Amino acid sequence: MLSDRRGNRMIALYDRETIDEMPEPKTKDSCDVKRFFYPLVKGESTQYIENAKTTIALLSVNDILLPVTINEKEYENAYVSSLFSHYISYAIEELYLLKQPILEKGLTYLMKSVGSFLKQTGIDKVVYVNNWLFSTNLQIDLTSTQIKRIVEFLTKKFPEHMIVFRSLSDYLHEDLISSFKENGFKELVSRQVYIAKPWNQLKKRQREHIKKDERQLIQHGYEQIEDIEPTEENMEQIKELYNQLYIGKYSNFNPLFTTAFYRHCMENELFKFIGISKDGKMLGCIGYWNRNGVMTTPILGYRVDLGNKLGLYRVLSNLIYQEGERHGLIGHWSSGASDFKMNRGAVSSLEYSMIYNDHLSFKRRMGVGLLRVLCNQIGIKLLRNKNL
């Protein structure tokens, strides 16, 4: 354990060897962090997320507990723990969305060249803070002073690593982004995400779309499974449904959760799992969690092989919306399916990774500098113009 104390302000990092020495958390949020991450810290990350090879620790800042992942050069990792995978490998796979073959070919060549350069600058030598290894990290409020202490502490502990916070939205986290900038962090746009509006703020047409989605459940004869039992059979079914969508249809650079991950989440009630079935067979499922008044759905899957006519995506999306309404939560709908989400009242928002690298050499900073030029200028225009 490495720790630092200034007056009553304590900051400490607990890893596999020292986590059992960590004082019991004092807040519900910190208790949730420990409950989720304890086995991941004690074991191997790949036991739970097959394509996220990383070292996990817990950073304690006063009464706040933050998961930390430490990487070196794991360029084949899921994008949730690799800047290279996020900005090069995954981005190349998604160029088909532009629907412009000539532009796609040119950008592929450019990005592969950029990728070679990024490896030379150590782009994946990173300490991620508040990294849950999900597509969306839900944020907790940090003061500018706390951010400063985190930077001072981690740059001392990891002098050759960048410090990165993922998933900062300009719609949800304007003040937090400002606090990061005050402490020398640079923003790097990562994707365009969609934030749900509550029912009372929707227009008539948007409400009609949601009502039609809700009717799909009955029209197709689906049964809603309100609380999926944590049986081995159900865990394997959820795993298969998620893999069909996020790995099979989308990308191998999405997190590949193992059966042990689903068992951990279900047995410890870390997520709320809801499914839809027909004739006794599960056809789709969601697994969501919430923090600080915002909910997100790391687990969403359905029988992709059945096609779109059965309305599975519409039904599952409606379940997510209704859960947010029922519990008074802001729905973070992640990225993709832009027209579908905006037709239902979602607000588009640019999401950023906030990066601190002032303590590194000029060569090490060049990689992020190049990415910022490409992503914050060219990338933002593509995201907005193409609604990616």
Q: What is the CATH number of the domain that holds 271?
A: 3.40.630.30
- Assigned token pair, 145: 């002073």
Do residue 49 and residue 81 come from a single domain?
Answer: yes
Q: Answer for the pair 35, 18: CB distance below 8 angstroms, yes or no.
A: no
Output the pLDDT for position 282: 97
Query: Domain end: 287, 304, 331, which one?
Result: 331
Q: What is the DSSP letter of 80?
A: G
CATH of the domain at 178: 3.40.630
Output the pLDDT for position 8: 41
Q: Distance between CA 108 and CA 207 in Å, rounded? A: 40
Do residue 70 and residue 215 come from a single domain?
Answer: no
Q: Distance between CA 215 and CA 192 in Å, rounded? A: 29
Q: Distance between CA 276 and CA 316 in Å, rounded? A: 8
| Count of CA atoms in the C-beta half-sphere (13 A) of 101 | 0
pLDDT tens string 39-52: 999 999 999 999 99
Q: What is the DSSP letter of 388?
A: -
Q: Answer for the pair 340, 317: CB distance below 8 angstroms, yes or no.
A: yes
- Assigned token pair, 209: 């779309």
Examine residue 302 and state whether it is found in any structural domain, yes or no: yes
Output the pLDDT for position 377: 87
Q: Distance between CA 357 and CA 365 in Å, rounded? A: 6
Give the total number of structural domains in the chain. Answer: 2
Q: Distance between CA 355 and CA 44 in Å, rounded? A: 26
Do residue 224 and residue 119 come from a single domain?
Answer: no
Do residue 115 and residue 207 come from a single domain?
Answer: no
Q: Answer for the pair 22, 14: CB distance below 8 angstroms, yes or no.
A: yes
Q: Answer for the pair 295, 288: CB distance below 8 angstroms, yes or no.
A: yes
Residues 6+ apart with CB under 8 A from 348: 192, 193, 194, 338, 342, 387
Do residue 143 and residue 167 come from a single domain?
Answer: yes
Output the pLDDT for position 388: 57
Helix axes 204-219, 312-327, angle to 10 degrees: 120
List Cα–Cα distances, 14 to 11, 22, 129, 300, in angstroms: 10, 7, 13, 32
Q: Distance between CA 17 and CA 1 in Å, rounded? A: 8
Do residue 164 and residue 242 come from a single domain?
Answer: no
Among 280, 293, 286, which Cα is nearest to 331's? 293
Q: Distance between CA 387 and CA 58 in Å, rounded? A: 36
Q: Distance between CA 25 and CA 303 in Å, rounded? A: 40
Do residue 214 and residue 312 come from a single domain?
Answer: yes
| 223-225: strand order across its sheet | 223-225, 272-278, 281-291, 294-302, 330-331
- Assigned token pair, 97: 């969305």
Do residue 144 and residue 43 come from a single domain?
Answer: yes
Q: What is the DSSP letter of 82?
A: -
Do residue 114 and residue 229 come from a single domain?
Answer: no
Examine residue 74 and state whether it is found in any structural domain, yes or no: yes
Do residue 145 and residue 50 come from a single domain?
Answer: yes
Do residue 129 and residue 212 come from a single domain?
Answer: no
> Which of left, alpha, beta for 280 (phi over 0: left; psi -120 to 50: alpha)?
left
Helix (H, G, I), strand (E, B) or coil at 293: coil
Range of the domain at 230: 197-331
pLDDT tens string 19-76: 999 999 999 999 999 999 999 999 999 999 999 999 999 999 989 999 999 999 999 9
Which residues pair with residue 347 across a beta bridge? 195
Examine residue 364 and state whether it is found in any structural domain, yes or no: yes
Examine residue 81 and state whether it is found in any structural domain, yes or no: yes
Examine residue 340 and state whether it is found in any structural domain, yes or no: no
Examine residue 337 and state whether it is found in any structural domain, yes or no: no
Q: What residues in the chain have per-residue pLDDT under 70? A: 1-9, 386-388
Examine residue 314 and state whether it is found in any structural domain, yes or no: yes
Examine residue 68 and state whether it is found in any structural domain, yes or no: yes
Q: Distance between CA 368 and CA 325 in Å, rounded? A: 39
Residues 6+ apart with CB under 8 A from 300: 242, 245, 246, 285, 286, 287, 316, 320
Do residue 201 and residue 89 come from a single domain?
Answer: no
